[in-house]
Structure 1
């Protein structure tokens, strides 16, 4: 209990969340175990969240808000908590994604993080580093809440055809990932195109990039390297990458044809395994 008593709410958003959770729980006259029984989590888990040793999830926050009558305070705070757990160099980018009116992305080797499933994200993040994998996966998926806002950004994603065939996490994970991409087929705000192998040399051969457009701020181009991100509002770079994106969209398959290709790859390459035993 010493850890709880000495928790500094000003140390980080995670510490502040834990401090507030304990304050609301105490005000309700509940023990950690009693609150855990109500929200279907263990008392130990409640204790770990209150001492900033475990990340809260959106699901937990919503249940705790309902149980403690907080008026949604914890649910509003959890987005800030998740963002604070991102690598320092990426936090500015997450902020840009949250504020953007339109996001245009080209990916030549991975499914974009805003479109990843839990299984796919876990496989990507787990390469060479298995530490705190579940928490890091939850943090990445939390970024997708930008699509749940009242004024969510319009998202255009162009994926190299190779991203459909790069088997990340195994066949079941890839099947689930492609099914997830197809779930946006009727969503006019999330548009996914595939740049086919047949396009040959193309305008994105220098690598993946994002273009963020805002209602009043300058457009920003974002590129990424090993452990570093590079956002820039340089007019020449923005002009060049915007032109490149226009050419990539022209070379990519239509939305309908892209969905048909994803569906075909999902069934033919990642279809349900045979029940027969060799």
Structure 2
């Protein structure tokens, strides 16, 4: 069998595959044997070792347990998943992990940290993303910062059109809006909706994010089709902060926003009874 030789310095994914093969062979296990231990096929082990497939966190935790590698692969998989993000987005993702406060205005889609896997897939597919499974995994992995011991404070202002624009089918949107409502129960996440009736607002140029840090300058982030733009310029940060203040003032309160999300969910995406009383989409 031909074995592809990897350069472990080529990328985090190459390094992961190289180290997985090295650790497996050191343990005297075939791909099939390791697969049996970690509840997957030997073929999947081979695909990960040759960078055809991207490992998941669950897979990495099982490999660490099986090979006694003391969390090596569980630590490495974060770098691997982040490397699957578009190269122009990776610098932002690295700052997002360190932020203590995140404020975002989203004019088109739900903010990535609040997306469900199914909604994320539909959004990425609409944007013609390559390697869709890996892109979805990388986006969802960013959400780990919300589950850490000291998560950032996340303020989200969504244009109401985000609630009405369907990505995927009704079930996908129903699940996504339900997820937004469930997030309202967490004190570190606040979601407000800018209603359609607010025709004049200071963010007509589009979506943007404000990141604040413990000891570093604030950063503003925005993006277009093929690149992200970040700046710590104090004038730009001050201007965007003022714009965000106006957006929050014009948006519905957190409580009224939740009520609107619930109403749109039921009216647009919930199953409706048919003429005979049966549920129809």
| TM above 0.5 | yes
Aligned to 1:35: 34
CA contact (8 A) 2:203 2:243 kept: yes
In the TM superposition, what are the counterparts of 1:196-235 in structure 2 within 5 Å?
196-235=195-234
CA drift of 1:159 comes to 0.4
Deviates more, 1:241-250 or 1:25-34: 25-34
Q: TM-score, normalised by structure 1?
A: 0.94
In the TM superposition, what are the counterparts of 1:51-130 in structure 2 within 5 Å?
51-127=50-126, 129=128
Aligned to 1:237: 236
Aligned to 2:3: 3
Q: TM-score, normalised by structure 2?
A: 0.94
User: What is the rounded CA distance, in whole Å, between the counterparts of 1:93 and 1:277 in structure 2?
Assistant: 42
CA drift of 1:2 comes to 3.8
How many equivalent pairs are there? 277
**Pair 1:75–1:277, CA change in 2 (3 A):** closer
Which secondary structure does the structure 2 equivalent of 1:67 belong to?
Answer: helix
Alignment deviations for residues 173-197 of structure 1 (CA, whole Å, 9 cap, x no partner): 1011111111212111111111111
Alignment deviations for residues 213-254 of structure 1 (CA, whole Å, 9 cap, x no partner): 011111010111111111011111100100111111111111
Deviates more, 1:260-269 or 1:121-130: 121-130
User: What is the rounded CA distance, in whole Å, between the counterparts of 2:250 and 2:280 in structure 1?
Assistant: 43
Alignment deviations for residues 249-274 of structure 1 (CA, whole Å, 9 cap, x no partner): 11111111111111111111100254
User: What is the rounded CA distance, in whole Å, between the counterparts of 1:32 and 1:272 in structure 2?
Assistant: 46
**Pair 1:181–1:277, CA change in 2 (3 A):** closer
Which secondary structure does the structure 2 equivalent of 1:88 belong to?
Answer: coil
Residue 22 of structure 2 corresponds to residue 15 of structure 1:
no
Aligned to 1:156: 155
Deviates more, 1:246-255 or 1:265-274: 265-274
Aligned to 1:174: 173
Gaps of 5+ in 1: none
Which secondary structure does the structure 2 equivalent of 1:245 belong to?
Answer: helix
Alignment deviations for residues 70-92 of structure 1 (CA, whole Å, 9 cap, x no partner): 22111111110111121111111
User: What is the rounded CA distance, in whole Å, between the counterparts of 2:136 and 2:188 in structure 1?
Assistant: 24
Displaced runs of 4 or more, over 6 A: none
